């Protein structure tokens, strides 16, 4: 009686309708009908020197018009051959036989060419290459090292990786996902080095994506992640080709998405989120110091405010006497409890952070003044927050920016709020309960079915050389054990 009607998405409906086209042969009338009401679609008829008539169908906004003239129209106009396709030698020509194929090619920037005498349809690839050029990375800036970054052009992104890894073993498999967007996805890996399990898992996951729009690599990652409800990213999003090349070199597959300047690397672990390309440029002692500093900053950004709440609410006895005097003096006039005081300040800080991201660059200074002077100083003078808390919030905010991964920074904020609540209820004990839950959660996470908290749990001792410190490159003779690469050693000459 209440039988559920099976729903089909828009994309699926279109696919079903084009399903009819799968076996339908192409006719000029049908194609004219298909491009009807498309302002940028053009259907042009030309006559060759030997009086042959040919028809061109293309979408003007998708093709390179300059090349259309020089590579197709001119050669065809001067063509003396019987076969029209033989005249066009500058571009890639493919014969097509079905309507579906014709539509797909047309919408991906090819021109359809109809030989009226031979009754043959073919497509000429003339995709408009215009787009953003190779620019400097804005999300992962480094002082030294390569400056180039990915753009929205998939082919260009592949070439940036191939330039760094000129190997025939560097394979790239192409997929199309998104019933509406038909987004091209490329899975890259080094054959004979990357663990085949990772490749097959990634392949299966990409194939299983069933959604109408995949416009960004983050959307693809959301469908491929093992744990959707976690705050932690399970793929490394990077717009740096050198990071991808390194990931491929240690035995990870890389996924590139068309029209997205961010590639996905997996499997990753929690500690990858604290690594920066600069780690491998600096001297190892300096790089290790920088990396430890990042971990310490992460802990500071996470724990400083909850600890303030815990100490001032539950454990005054833990505060050394001299500091206690300062604290009592600054807090004596405040109407709010430490928890509410901290919560309000943290929320305000988050609002300022978010505003600084959305505001135009020129307004940044104004925001700095408002955030720093008005909110900071005025809050203290108005008696809403203690000076000690303002200092701690400032340190905590600055410390959070040291984590190189932006997605991780956002996750840190959320965890900080949870720890704050636990600290207000159970003091230091509550903070450690939160940390236990956090570690247990991380311990259970996986990235491409591989443990997320490795090399700590499961324990891989040799991988610790590139964990909290960045050991000398000469000592890192083996690829990370946790990735189970097919070639363990990084050196090629026999030792």
List 115's β-bridge partners, or say none. 54, 120
Least Å from the CB of residue 319 to another protein: 7
Using the minimum distance from each CB to another protein, give the nearer residue, 323 or 359: 323
Is residue 326 part of the contact set for another protein (CB under 8 A)? no
Least Å from the CB of residue 462 to another protein: 15
Closest to 341 measured CA to CA, from 392, 292, 303 = 392
HEC profile of the chain: CCCCCCCCCHHHHHHHHHHHHHHCECCHHHHHHHCCCCCCEEEEEEECCCCCEEEEEEECCCECHHHHHHHHHHHHHCCCCCCHHHHCCCCCEEEECEHHHHHHHHHCCEEEEEECCCCEEEEEECECCCCCCCCECCCCCCCCCCCECCCCCHHHHHHHHHHHCCCCCEEEEEEEECCCCCEEEEEEEECCCCCHHHHHHHHHHHHCCCCCCCCCHHHHHHHHCCCCCCCCCCCEEECCHHHHHHHHHHCCCEEEECCCCCEEECCCCHHHHHCCHHHHCCCHHHHHHHHHHHHHHHHHHHHHHHHHHHHHHCCHHHCCHHHHHHHHHHHCCCCCCHHHHHHHHHHHHHHHHHHHHHCCHHHHHHHHHHHHHHHHHHHHHHCCCCHHHHHHHHHHHHHHCCCCCHHHHHHHHHHHHHHHHHHHHHHHHHHHHHHHHHHHHHHHCEECCEECCCCCCCCCHHHHHHCCCCCCHHHCCECCHHHCCCCCECCCCCC
Closest to 147 measured CA to CA, from 282, 242, 261 = 242
Q: Which residue has the tokens 């028809």?
A: 55
Rounded to whole angstroms, the Cα distance separating 350 from 356 reads 10
Span from 250-258, 328-336, 389-397, 456-464 in contact with another protein (CB under 8 A): 456-464
Is residue 456 part of the contact set for another protein (CB under 8 A)? yes
Using the minimum distance from each CB to another protein, give the nearer residue, 43 or 292: 292
Interface residue with another protein among 401, 459, 475, 489 (CB under 8 A) is 459
Is residue 228 part of the contact set for another protein (CB under 8 A)? no
Is residue 271 part of the contact set for another protein (CB under 8 A)? no
Interface residue with another protein among 169, 436, 473, 486 (CB under 8 A) is 436
Using the minimum distance from each CB to another protein, give the nearer residue, 134 or 435: 435
* Helices 387-400, 321-331: inter-axial angle, 10-degree rounding: 110
Is residue 444 part of the contact set for another protein (CB under 8 A)? yes
Is residue 347 part of the contact set for another protein (CB under 8 A)? no
Least Å from the CB of residue 414 to another protein: 17
Is residue 453 part of the contact set for another protein (CB under 8 A)? yes
Span from 134-142, 273-281, 314-322, 333-341 in contact with another protein (CB under 8 A): 314-322
Q: What is the largest CA-CA distance in the chain?
A: 101
Is residue 439 part of the contact set for another protein (CB under 8 A)? yes
List 446's β-bridge partners, or say none. 451
Interface residue with another protein among 367, 433, 469, 478 (CB under 8 A) is 433
Least Å from the CB of residue 456 to another protein: 6
Using the minimum distance from each CB to another protein, give the nearer residue, 282 or 454: 454
Using the minimum distance from each CB to another protein, give the nearer residue, 286 or 444: 444
How many residues contact another protein, by CB under 8 A? Answer: 26
Using the minimum distance from each CB to another protein, give the nearer residue, 90 or 444: 444
Using the minimum distance from each CB to another protein, give the nearer residue, 435 or 478: 435
Using the minimum distance from each CB to another protein, give the nearer residue, 325 or 459: 459
Is residue 317 part of the contact set for another protein (CB under 8 A)? yes
Span from 256-264, 317-325, 341-349, 391-399 in contact with another protein (CB under 8 A): 317-325
Give the per-residue contact string, 272-311, with another protein (x = CB under 8 A; - = no): ----------------------------------------
Is residue 492 part of the contact set for another protein (CB under 8 A)? no
Least Å from the CB of residue 425 to another protein: 9
Interface residue with another protein among 43, 222, 370, 429 (CB under 8 A) is 429
Span from 123-131, 363-371, 381-389, 452-460 in contact with another protein (CB under 8 A): 452-460
Is residue 432 part of the contact set for another protein (CB under 8 A)? yes
Is residue 443 part of the contact set for another protein (CB under 8 A)? yes
- Binding residues for another protein restricted to 387-426, rule: CB under 8 A: 426
Q: Name the site residues for another protein (rule: CB under 8 A).
A: 314-315, 317-320, 426-429, 431-433, 436-437, 439-441, 443-444, 451, 453, 456-459
């Amino acid at each position: 009686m209440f039988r559920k009607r099976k729903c089909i998405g828009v994309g699926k409906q279109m696919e079903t309708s084009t399903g009819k086209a799968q076996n339908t042969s192409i006719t000029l009338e049908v194609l004219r009908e298909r491009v009807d009401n498309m302002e940028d679609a053009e259907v042009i008829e030309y006559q060759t020197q030997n009086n042959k008539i040919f028809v061109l169908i293309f979408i003007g906004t998708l093709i390179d018009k300059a090349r259309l003239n020089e590579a197709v129209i001119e050669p065809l106009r001067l063509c003396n051959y019987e076969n029209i396709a033989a005249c066009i030698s500058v571009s890639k020509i493919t014969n097509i036989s079905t309507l579906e194929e014709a539509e797909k090619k047309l919408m991906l920037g090819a021109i359809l060419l109809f030989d009226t005498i031979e009754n043959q349809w073919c497509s000429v690839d003339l995709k408009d290459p215009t787009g953003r050029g190779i620019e400097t990375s804005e999300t992962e800036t480094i002082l030294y090292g390569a400056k180039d970054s990915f753009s929205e052009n998939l082919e260009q992104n592949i070439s940036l990786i191939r330039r760094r890894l000129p190997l025939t073993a560097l394979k790239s498999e192409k997929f199309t996902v998104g019933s509406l967007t038909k987004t091209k996805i490329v899975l890259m890996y080094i054959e004979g080095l990357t663990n085949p399990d990772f490749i097959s898992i990634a392949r299966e996951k990409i194939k299983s994506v069933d959604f109408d729009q995949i416009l960004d690599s983050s959307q693809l990652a959301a469908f491929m992640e093992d744990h959707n409800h976690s705050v932690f990213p399970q793929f490394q999003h990077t717009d740096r080709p050198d990071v991808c090349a390194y990931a491929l070199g240690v035995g990870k597959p890389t996924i590139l998405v068309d029209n997205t300047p961010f590639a996905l690397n997996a499997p990753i672990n929690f500690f990858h989120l604290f690594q920066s390309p600069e780690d491998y440029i600096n001297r190892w002692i300096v790089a290790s110091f920088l990396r430890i500093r990042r971990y310490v900053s992460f802990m500071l950004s996470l724990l400083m405010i909850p600890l303030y709440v815990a100490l001032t609410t539950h454990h005054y006895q833990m505060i050394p006497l001299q500091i206690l005097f300062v604290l009592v003096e600054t807090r004596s006039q405040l109407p709010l409890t430490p928890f509410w005081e901290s919560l309000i300040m943290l929320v305000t800080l988050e609002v300022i952070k978010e505003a600084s991201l959305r505001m135009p660059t020129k307004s940044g200074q104004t925001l700095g003044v408002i955030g720093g002077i008005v909110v900071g100083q005025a809050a203290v003078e108005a008696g809403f927050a203690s000076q000690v808390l303002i200092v701690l919030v400032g340190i905590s905010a600055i410390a959070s920016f040291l984590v190189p991964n932006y997605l991780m920074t956002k996750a840190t904020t959320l965890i900080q709020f949870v720890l704050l609540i636990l600290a207000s209820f159970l003091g230091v004990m509550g903070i450690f309960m939160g940390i236990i839950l956090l570690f247990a959660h991380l311990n259970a996470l996986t990235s491409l079915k591989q443990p997320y908290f490795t090399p700590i749990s499961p324990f891989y001792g040799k991988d610790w050389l590139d964990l909290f410190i960045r050991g000398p490159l000469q000592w890192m003779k083996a690829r990370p054990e946790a990735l189970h690469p097919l070639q363990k050693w990084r050196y090629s000459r026999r030792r």
